[in-house]
Amino acid sequence: MESIALLFAASLNAGTVLAIASLGLLINEKAGIVNLGAEGMMLCAALAGFATVVHTGSTALGFVAGMGAGALLAAIFGGLVIWLNTNQYATGLALSLFGAGFSAFAGSRYVQEKLPEQSQYAIPFLSDIPLLGSALFRHHPMVYACVALVFGLIWFLYRTRAGLVLRSVGESPESAHALGYPVRRIRLMAVMAGGALCGLAGAYVSTVYTPLWVEGMIAGKGWIALALTTFATWRPARVLLGAYLFGGVTMLQFHLQGIGVNVPSQFLTMMPYLATIVVLVLISRNPTWIRINMPTSIGKPFYPGA
């Protein structure tokens, strides 16, 4: 039983990384922009976060550095896509390729370094409940912050005027422009916010989740986060659910190995990627599910006065 509680706890932890990045991408996409650069932003942010913690010893500063790196790269992407009207897919791809190369290049001197394991924050009293306590209430604060982020985002998107404006920019940039909203500036802000969240997720990976730096350590989490926004049909609460589900699949591989399931480890490592494909197929099978919720102008450039 205790091991199931631990599997559950590990799934929440792994899911948190995916959820934070995916929520960031959701903000992007609600504003009508798809950023395929998530993987690259997360890699650079993971490095920025790791290096900051190595030099300052402060995890909080590491998170800030990660967010800054993510937002900066997102700003470059946003500038190209929003002001120069470059193809969103190609530009995002360029960002991912650049991020992978740049982080490997700049990070080569950190490969040998290690950070101390982070102690978990146990919520008083609640964490003492048997099983449930170790499953739910002994985590890094970021795990709880992520849940709060979901509620905050739901409130922002569906209960505030700014959220409405953001969504209208994604649904119909022409009307938002006609109403006098600065469509391009709003889109850039959304893209940068998304980049900051991807950056936060990346920094969490390299400083808390696996406190070390290895080339390519994000290992497709950025792409899985992108798939999660589709899986969740652009709804924040479902992003969280999907992320925990994927966290579970990721963690199951270690668990199965632990209890001695006789499957070559490579097949277990494949599972999150195969699961992503299966989930994409299941959700995309019904085009109306996708079409009802997908921001209408997603992927399309907007050029005022053209």
Cα separation, 259 vs 236, whole angstroms: 34
Is the Cβ of residue 105 or residue 151 nearer to other proteins in the bound state? 105
We find the least distance from the C-beta atom of residue 107 to other proteins, in angstroms, to be: 9
Provide the minimum distance between the beta carbon of 161 and other proteins in the complex, in angstroms, as a whole number.
Answer: 29
Q: Which amino acid is at 158?
A: Y
Q: Is 134 in a helix, a strand, or coil? A: helix
CB 202 within 8 A of CB 46: yes
Taking alpha carbons only, the member of 143, 157, 142 closest to residue 232 is 157
Torsion angle in degrees (nearest 10) through CA of 170, 175, 179, 184: 40
From the CB of 241, what's the least distance to other proteins, in Å? 19
Give least dist CB 271 to other proteins, A.
Answer: 9
Provide, rounded to whole angstroms, the least separation between the CB of residue 280 and other proteins: 5
Q: Which is nearer to other proteins, 40 or 64 (CB)?
A: 40
Cα–Cα dist 46/70, whole Å: 9
The two tokens of residue 164 are: 């409405």
- Helix or strand or coil: residue 263? coil
- 208 close to 59: Cβ distance less than 8 angstroms: yes
Tracing tokens 């599972």 back to the chain, one arrives at 271
Report yes or no: 186 and 31 within 8 Å, Cβ to Cβ: yes
156/223 with CB nearer other proteins: 223
Closest separation between CB of residue 98 and other proteins, Å?
3
H/E segment holding residue 96 = helix 88-106
Q: Kindly state the DSSP code that residue 214 receives in the 8-state scheme.
A: -
The residue (of 143 and 228) whose beta carbon lies closer to other proteins is 228
Residues lying near other proteins in the complex (CB under 8 A) are found at 36, 40, 76, 80, 83-87, 89-91, 93-95, 97-102, 104-105, 108, 215, 219-220, 223-224, 226-227, 230, 264, 266-267, 269-270, 273-274, 276-277, 280-281, 284-285, 287, 290, 303, 306
Name the residue nearer to other proteins (CB basis): 85 or 160.
Answer: 85
Residues in the chain, how many?
306
Least Cβ distance, residue 247 to other proteins (angstroms): 17
Residue 15 or 272: the one with the smaller Cβ distance to other proteins is 272
Pick 119 or 262: Cβ nearer other proteins: 262
